[in-house]
Amino acid sequence: MHHYLSIAIELIAGLVILFIILKILGKTQFSQITPFDFISALILGELVGNAVYDNGTHLGDVLFAASVWGAIIYVVEVVTQKFKNTRKFLEGEPSIVINKGKINYNSLKKNNMDMNQLQSLIRQQGYFSIQEVEYVILETNGMLSVLPKFKYDTPKAGDLNLPSKPVNLPITLILEGEVIYNNLKEYGLNDQWLKEQLAAQNINDYKSVLFAEWQPNQPVYALKYEHKA
């Protein structure tokens, strides 16, 4: 019993310290993973794994090692921000794999990418032929940025000379039957107003709403649970 309790404590402690380290380092650790970020994530995970499965590794040792490694990562992040010359080595740099519609084969080889991978990643960006793209950049996190040729590009409102309109961020009001009262309060709305909006759509119970959002000058958009028979 003591052994299982020890494992639970170590897992919780590992979760807490990893969470703290990620909060300190910022969201790039999981949203824009560079090669260095990937290595650091592996090492941090291994440290916690050792705490659970290696009886000779004590919790204090793991916390100390994770703290030191987190400090190293933080120092590296500061260095790359202050000294631009280090970014290329530690974070890598984007590579142009298609330039003016022509494939840069040397760039593909340098990044260990074959044509099938290139086609797959381009399709994920919504373009199903290499002929449709003018420039393709392989970013440091492995994602592709695609600039299509003029005739395949989506026209923008400015291109069509359409009158400008205000752009509003949709506000989530209900998630899985639970009202997000903080959002209601932030935008000067109240519970009675929300009930009236839902009643207009024949919805009388928050619990029956899977999702609901609102934009200024528009009615509430609500989706009910679809109960299976």
CA pair distance 84, 79, nearest whole angstrom: 8
**What digits encode the pLDDT tens for the residues 12-69?**
766 676 666 666 655 444 445 555 666 666 666 666 666 656 666 666 766 677 677 7
Tokens of 116: 């099938």
Q: Kindly tell me if the per-residue pLDDT of 224 is higher than 70.
A: yes
In sequence order, the 6+-apart residues with CB closer than 8 A to the CB of 61 are 51
Considering only residues 5 and 71, tell me which one the structure prediction assigns the higher pLDDT.
71
CA pair distance 216, 31, nearest whole angstrom: 30
pLDDT band at 89, cuts 50/70/90? low
Q: Is 119 exposed, middle or buried (0-12, 13-18, 19+ CB in 10 A)?
A: middle
Tokens of 51: 């705490």
This prediction has a pTM of 0.56
CA pair distance 104, 139, nearest whole angstrom: 15
The residue type found at 228 is: K
State whether the Cα torsion 207-208-212-217 is positive or negative.
negative
Alpha-helix runs per DSSP H in the chain = 2-25, 28-31, 35-53, 59-82, 87-91, 105-110, 115-124, 181-186, 191-199
**What digits encode the pLDDT tens for the residues 62-81?**
667 767 777 777 787 777 67
Picking from 214, 208, 183, 215, the residue whose alpha carbon sits closest to that of residue 223 is: 208
Q: What is the pLDDT of residue 229?
A: 40
Q: Given its phi and psi angles, is residue 85 left (phi above 0), alpha (psi -120 to 50 degrees) or beta?
A: alpha
